[in-house]
């Protein structure tokens, strides 16, 4: 599985640990920044990542800020992006199985590394169920 990852300054400090977890799980990871902990605006990184995920069919994204809220709000402005704010393994599982999420968001100030590891592992191992969920997912976007 290929992931693009981006954070803001609030989550910069955990970015390399998250990349390590993903690589240990056999994923390819592309780091879209930031490159240091200087203050940045989360929408800039959310939009940068969404453009890459949309260009690279079959890829996924991880967006992390303080709460995960700002990143998910910005990402979901993109047609074709389904960014799920996850708090635990259950929400990560549902994000894939029911919502066909292609981006996972979480908050560095909300979840610890143990929970983050279980979110990532579950997201990777879960698959979209299709069926009745497909019709619902197709209804998310409006012209
Ligand atoms: C930064 O202080 C914080 O607002 C940001 O990381 C994020 O939580 C926004 O949703």
CATH value at residue 83: 3.40.1400.10
Residue 99, helix vs strand vs coil:
coil
Q: Is 86 a catalytic residue?
A: no
Per-residue pLDDT tens digits of the chain, which is 143 residues long: 999 999 999 999 999 999 999 999 999 999 999 999 999 999 999 999 999 999 999 999 999 999 999 999 999 999 999 999 999 999 999 999 999 999 999 999 999 999 999 999 999 999 999 999 999 999 999 98
Instruction: Read off the DSSP letter of residue 38.
Output: S
Q: Closest ligand 1 atom, CA of 65?
A: 6
Q: Which position among 47, 87, 98, 133 bears the catalytic label?
A: 98
What CA–CA distance (Å, rounded) separates 32 from 35? 8
Structural domain span for residue 83: 2-138
Task: Kindly state whether residue 130 falls inside one of the protein's structural domains.
Answer: yes
> pLDDT at position 86, please?
98
Task: Kindly state whether residue 91 falls inside one of the protein's structural domains.
Answer: yes
- Which residues lie across from 106 on neighbouring strands? 64
Task: Kindly state whether residue 143 falls inside one of the protein's structural domains.
Answer: no
Q: Closest ligand 1 atom, CA of 107?
A: 8
Number of domains in the chain: 1
CA count, 13 A, side-chain hemisphere, 128: 14
* Residue 69 CB–ligand 1 contact under 6 Å: yes
What CA–CA distance (Å, rounded) separates 36 from 27? 23
76 neighbors 19 (Cβ within 8 angstroms):
no
> pLDDT at position 15, please?
98
* Residue 108 CB–ligand 1 contact under 6 Å: no
Task: Kindly state whether residue 83 falls inside one of the protein's structural domains.
Answer: yes
Token pair 């879209």 in the structure block, residue: 32
């Amino acid at each position: 599985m290929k992931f693009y990852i981006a954070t803001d300054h609030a989550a910069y400090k955990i970015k390399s640990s998250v990349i390590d977890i993903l690589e240990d799980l056999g994923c390819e990871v592309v780091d879209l920044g930031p490159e240091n902990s200087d203050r940045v605006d989360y929408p800039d990184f959310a939009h940068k990542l969404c453009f890459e995920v949309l260009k690279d069919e079959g890829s996924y994204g991880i967006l992390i800020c303080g709460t995960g809220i700002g990143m998910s709000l910005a990402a979901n402005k993109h047609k074709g992006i389904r960014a799920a704010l996850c708090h635990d393994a259950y929400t990560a599982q549902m994000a894939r199985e029911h919502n066909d999420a292609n981006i996972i968001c979480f908050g560095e100030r909300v979840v610890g590394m143990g929970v983050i590891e279980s979110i990532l592992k579950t997201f990777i191992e879960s698959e979209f169920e299709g069926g009745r969920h497909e019709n619902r997912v197709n209804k998310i976007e409006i012209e």
